């Protein structure tokens, strides 16, 4: 099924993320690497086959082409319909041309994408494909026949995927001899831009295949979440369920289709209402079928009569208007004003239904809570259920669930919601993924910051969760060390939360924010067990400060932009230990220039400067970081602990630096923090840095820089007043 918004737009792009780049610096995507086949683990991907040139197949193929065209790879799209092939190719070519015109990629890259793509009706063109994605119509029999035929052509060890929105993998791959290499990969509309993918392994899918798929999709820029096999998976019961709830609102007289569609947007944070979404996607027929099958397949001893069922309003539309029936909704630019009491009744009913639907999925155990929150907010562009409860309050959320349950007894009230209301404390989804990796020398905890919509930027919640990790590392005797990484290939951590900084209005507020970062850095740096940062992408601002508090840093090679502290472009200084730790890792002279100009270092430069300890290919960074933890633990590698003492006890004479447009007042205070620490040592320098940041939060230039960044991003320099 498709997302209810017409397009996915990330909150922050690589060029605009918080605390990111100095003006004029551009981020190069991983495609800028030297041409070589895409390799992950022991698998090499040079030929991908996409079966189906309908609504989503060409978009899936386009995303693959963007990924592997520059690596010499190719993508074959197969369909039995020449008309579908012609339409799919024309639409794909149009998107590629539009990207070249907008500057999203160079004309040569656009030509490489087209050259990598083949649209054909000949199944033999899939010969040798190492990865296959079937994207045909949602028909179980058709999918089975396709995979039975494909086995004659593709590589013997090819990974076989189905882009289904509902069907269990055990049914889809029933005709496949070796099902250990099969899984469902559920894409979301538009597939080339919406980053979410549900990965659903079947009962026979090997753990190695599942792990490889999770790594592969992350490597090519997607956000995979693992979901256990169940009809509809985790997202579609929400998408189709909120539509069913909207239909019931109409049937129960709360409003017309147009009125409910309008009010529904405010209920769960939709950009367009559920009826409008059905019109845009043509999803009414598959939704009716899906809801009825959910009713059948969700049934069990604990839930004999599941709430999910095609509502009469929907079946009546399909009976009278056919498969192409459209709902009467507001036109483009049209607005509605509903009476307050009517609007509130619709909103409350939909919120009660939404929370009931979401927690029925979470209670089933098919998906992790944090994964589910990320999936719903990113794939469906809805407000996540935990965030909604946090905004409403747990007791109000329980009231809404109980009210809906009273009217619809077959949608139960989750015990999780009751527990939150009893404690009057909303559950906070984790921004971290945690995995214990067993090695011959002991267990290594691998923690990855996962806030992909903001390139893993650090907020107050994430700092708190990382501090809990530091405590776990200290207390858990079974752990020999810790790896801290970031999700995806674009960023380790893009910086600290600029929106939190924008809310700083007093020196004490600024001090408190910086103190949280200081405390975490100190806890990691003082750990008796090794802590290693895995830098798969850029580490900027607070991200680099976090990495510098680790005992070692392993980074991806060939990154033209890896690390930097660009805070001076915002009218502030690095206040998470950056003014003190950077000169101790790279030397006082180099740090003087980097800090005062906000300049960045490439992977190669960071290695030469001593900031990182080792460079490996991007897909190997986390594994290499685990190996480095083991080497530090066993003594195979020497610890390079940061110098705690003075760097220049006899005084500091810093070289002059051209700071350009940047604030002279901020530069003066930055130099003060830098020189103080160099003379007095790390511990006193960190205290001084906090006090200097407190003073900076009183400056006009701090407000000028932060406000300018929030409004305009990093592309234009802030108009500092030097006061």
Cβ contact 533:554 at 8 Å: yes
Catalytic residue among 240, 259, 373, 567: 567
CA–CA distances in Å: residue 702 to residues 381, 440, 568, 705, 707: 33, 50, 9, 5, 8
| pLDDT of res. 21 | 32
- CATH for 295: 1.10.1040.50
Average pLDDT over residues 686-691: 97
Q: CA 63, CA 199: separation in Å to the nearest integer?
A: 17
Please identify, among 226, 250, 280, the residue that sits at the C-terminal boundary of a domain: 226
DSSP bridge pairs for 39: 44
CA 64, distance to chain mean position in Å, is 18
Please identify, among 378, 393, 423, the residue that sits at the C-terminal boundary of a domain: 423
Express each pLDDT in 194-252 by its tens digit. 999 999 999 999 999 999 999 999 999 999 999 999 999 999 999 999 999 999 999 99
Buried b (16+ CB within 10 A) or exposed e, 214-242: bbbbbbbbbbbbbbebbbbbbbbbbbbbb
Catalytic residue among 168, 198, 545, 620: 545
- Identify whether residues 472 and 344 lie together within a single domain: no
- Identify whether residues 210 and 281 lie together within a single domain: no
Q: CA 332, CA 325: separation in Å to the nearest integer?
A: 19
What DSSP element (H or E) covers 203?
A: none
Instruction: Kindly state whether residue 698 falls inside one of the protein's structural domains.
Output: yes
Q: CA 632, CA 627: separation in Å to the nearest integer?
A: 9
| pLDDT of res. 27 | 27
Please identify, among 182, 205, 226, the residue that sits at the C-terminal boundary of a domain: 226
Cβ contact 673:579 at 8 Å: yes
Express each pLDDT in 57-89 by its tens digit. 999 999 999 988 888 899 999 999 999 999 999
Average pLDDT over residues 126-144: 96
**Active-site residue, 567 included:** yes
Cβ contact 545:577 at 8 Å: yes
- Identify whether residues 169 and 212 lie together within a single domain: yes
Structure tokens at 98: 């539009």
DSSP bridge pairs for 484: 447, 533
Quickly state the pLDDT bin for 10 (edges 50, 70, 90).
very low
Is pLDDT of 530 > 70? yes
Strands (E), 420-540: 432-439, 442-449, 479-486, 491-493, 531-535, 538-540
DSSP bridge pairs for 556: 616
| pLDDT of res. 29 | 35
392 three-state secondary structure: helix
Average pLDDT over residues 547-574: 97
- Identify whether residues 402 and 446 lie together within a single domain: no
Using CB atoms within 10 Å of the CB of residue 666, give its burial: 0 to 12 exposed, 13 to 18 middle, 19+ buried.
buried
- Identify whether residues 245 and 131 lie together within a single domain: no
673 three-state secondary structure: helix
Quickly state the pLDDT bin for 20 (edges 50, 70, 90).
very low
With a pLDDT cut of 70, the percent of the chain lying above it is 95
Q: Where are the alpha helices (DSSP H) in 224-368?
A: 236-251, 257-268, 274-281, 284-297, 312-321, 340-364
Is pLDDT of 656 > 80? yes
Lowest average pLDDT, out of 277-286, 376-385, 443-452, 561-570, goes to 277-286
**Sheet with strand 74-78: strands edge to edge:** 117-120, 74-78, 47-51, 131-134, 159-162, 182-187, 196-201, 223-226
- Identify whether residues 416 and 437 lie together within a single domain: no
**Active-site residue, 218 included:** no
- What residue numbers bound the domain in which 123 lies? 33-226
Count CA atoms closer than 13 A to 557's CA, side-chain side: 8
Instruction: Kindly state whether residue 19 falls inside one of the protein's structural domains.
Output: no
| pLDDT of res. 685 | 97
Predicted TM-score (pTM) of the model is: 0.89
Quickly state the pLDDT bin for 14 (edges 50, 70, 90).
very low
- Identify whether residues 196 and 256 lie together within a single domain: no
Express each pLDDT in 299-312 by its tens digit. 999 999 999 999 99
With a pLDDT cut of 90, the percent of the chain lying above it is 87
Lowest average pLDDT, out of 26-30, 120-124, 488-492, 716-720, goes to 26-30
315 three-state secondary structure: helix
Angle at 238 between CA 389 and CA 305, to 5 degrees: 100
Instruction: Kindly state whether residue 12 falls inside one of the protein's structural domains.
Output: no
- Identify whether residues 300 and 437 lie together within a single domain: no
Instruction: Kindly state whether residue 533 falls inside one of the protein's structural domains.
Output: yes
Q: CA 85, CA 96: separation in Å to the nearest integer?
A: 16
> Number of folded domains in the chain?
3
CA–CA distances in Å: residue 621 to residues 6, 209, 485, 626: 35, 20, 9, 9
- Identify whether residues 501 and 573 lie together within a single domain: yes
- CATH for 674: 3.90.226.10
Instruction: Kindly state whether residue 602 falls inside one of the protein's structural domains.
Output: yes
Check the CA dihedral 627-632-633-636 and report its sign.
positive
Express each pLDDT in 243-301 by its tens digit. 999 999 999 999 999 999 999 999 999 999 999 999 998 889 999 999 999 999 999 99
Q: Helix, strand, coil: what percent of the chain each, to 5? A: 50, 15, 40
Other CB atoms within 10 Å distance of the CB of residue 166 = 23
Instruction: Kindly state whether residue 305 falls inside one of the protein's structural domains.
Output: yes
| pLDDT of res. 36 | 60
Count CA atoms closer than 13 A to 707's CA, side-chain side: 10
- Identify whether residues 594 and 490 lie together within a single domain: yes
| pLDDT of res. 188 | 95
Is pLDDT of 531 > 80? yes
Instruction: Kindly state whether residue 190 falls inside one of the protein's structural domains.
Output: yes
Q: CA 229, CA 460: separation in Å to the nearest integer?
A: 35
Q: Residue 696: what are its φ and ψ, rounded to 5°? A: -65, -30
| pLDDT of res. 690 | 97
- Identify whether residues 387 and 467 lie together within a single domain: no
- Identify whether residues 172 and 272 lie together within a single domain: no
Cβ contact 706:719 at 8 Å: no
Average pLDDT over residues 368-394: 96
Structure tokens at 432: 């971290």
- CATH for 52: 3.40.50.720
Cβ contact 461:387 at 8 Å: no
Q: What is the rounded average pLDDT for all residues in the chain? A: 92
Express each pLDDT in 571-625 by its tens digit. 999 999 999 999 999 999 999 999 999 999 999 999 999 999 999 999 899 999 9
Instruction: Kindly state whether residue 407 falls inside one of the protein's structural domains.
Output: yes
């Amino acid at each position: 099924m498709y997302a209810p918004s017409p397009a996915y737009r990330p909150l922050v792009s690589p060029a605009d993320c918080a605390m990111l780049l100095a003006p004029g610096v551009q981020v190069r995507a991983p495609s800028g690497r030297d041409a070589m086949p895409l390799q992950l683990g022991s698998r090499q991907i040079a030929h991908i086959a996409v079966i189906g040139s309908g609504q989503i197949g060409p978009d899936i193929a386009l995303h693959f082409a963007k990924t592997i065209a520059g690596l010499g790879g190719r993508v074959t799209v197969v369909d039995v319909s020449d008309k579908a092939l012609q339409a799919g190719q024309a639409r794909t070519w149009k998107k590629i041309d539009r990207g070249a015109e907008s500057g999203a990629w160079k004309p040569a890259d656009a030509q490489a994408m087209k050259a990598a793509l083949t649209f054909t009706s000949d199944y033999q063109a899939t010969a040798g494909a190492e990865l296959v994605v079937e994207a045909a119509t949602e028909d179980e029999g058709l999918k089975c026949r396709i995979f039975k035929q494909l086995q004659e052509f593709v590589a013997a060890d090819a990974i076989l995927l189905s882009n289904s929105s509902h069907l269990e993998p055990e049914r889809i791959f029933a005709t496949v001899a070796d099902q250990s290499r099969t899984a469902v990969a559920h894409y979301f509309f538009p597939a080339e831009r919406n980053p979410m993918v549900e990965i659903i392994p079947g009962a026979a899918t090997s753990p190695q295949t599942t792990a490889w798929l999770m790594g592969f999709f992350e490597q090519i820029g997607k956000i995979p979440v693992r979901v256990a096999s169940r009809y509809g998976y985790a997202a579609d019961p929400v998408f189709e369920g909120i539509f069913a709830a909207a239909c019931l609102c109409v049937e129960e007289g709360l409003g017309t289709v147009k009125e409910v569609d309008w009010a529904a947007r405010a209920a769960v944070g939709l950009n367009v209402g559920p009826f409008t979404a059905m019109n845009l996607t043509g999803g009414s027929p598959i939704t009716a079928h899906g809801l009825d099958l959910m009713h059948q397949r969700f049934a069990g001893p604990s839930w004999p009569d599941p709430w999910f069922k095609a509502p009469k309003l929907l079946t009546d539309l399909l009976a009278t208007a056919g498969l192409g029936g459209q709902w009467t909704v507001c036109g483009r630019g049209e607005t509605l004003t509903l009476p307050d009491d009517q609007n509130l009744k619709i909103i409350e009913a939909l919120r009660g239904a939404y929370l009931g639907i979401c927690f029925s999925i979470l209670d089933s155990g098919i998906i992790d809570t944090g994964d589910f929150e990320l999936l719903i907010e990113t794939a469906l562009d809805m407000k996540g259920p935990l965030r909604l409860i946090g905004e409403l309050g747990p007791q109000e959320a329980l009231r809404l669930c109980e009210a809906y349950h009273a009217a619809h007894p077959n949608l139960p009230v989750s015990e999780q919601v009751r527990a939150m209301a009893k404690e009057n404390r909303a559950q906070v989804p984790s921004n971290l993924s945690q995995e214990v990796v067993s090695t011959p020398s002991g267990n290594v905890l691998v923690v990855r910051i996962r806030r992909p919509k903001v390139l893993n930027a650090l907020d107050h919640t994430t700092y708190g969760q990382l501090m809990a990790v530091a405590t776990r590392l200290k207390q858990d005797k079974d752990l020999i060390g810790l790896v801290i990484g970031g999700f995806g290939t674009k960023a380790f951590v893009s910086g600290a939360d600029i929106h939190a900084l924008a809310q700083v209005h007093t020196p004490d507020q600024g001090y408190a924010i910086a103190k949280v970062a200081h405390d975490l850095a100190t806890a990691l740096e003082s750990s008796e067990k090794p802590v290693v940062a895995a830098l798969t992408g850029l580490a900027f601002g607070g991200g680099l400060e976090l990495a510098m508090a680790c005992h070692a840093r392993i980074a991806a090679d060939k990154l033209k932009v890896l690390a930097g502290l660009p805070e001076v472009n915002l009218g502030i200084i690095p206040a998470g230990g950056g003014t003190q730790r950077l000169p101790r890792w790279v030397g006082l002279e180099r740090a003087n220039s980097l800090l005062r100009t906000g300049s960045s270092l490439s992977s190669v430069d960071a290695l030469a400067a001593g900031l990182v300890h080792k460079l490996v290919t991007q897909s190997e960074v986390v594994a290499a970081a685990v190996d480095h933890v083991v080497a530090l633990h066993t003594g195979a590698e020497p610890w390079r602990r940061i110098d705690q003492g003075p760097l220049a006890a006899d005084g500091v004479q810093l070289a002059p630096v051209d700071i350009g447009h940047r604030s002279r007042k901020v530069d003066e205070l930055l130099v003060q923090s830098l020189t103080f620490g160099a003379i007095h040592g790390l511990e006193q320098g960190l205290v001084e840095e906090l006090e200097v940041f407190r003073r900076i939060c009183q400056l006009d230039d701090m407000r000028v820089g932060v406000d300018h960044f929030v409004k305009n991003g990093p592309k234009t320099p802030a108009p500092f007043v030097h006061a």
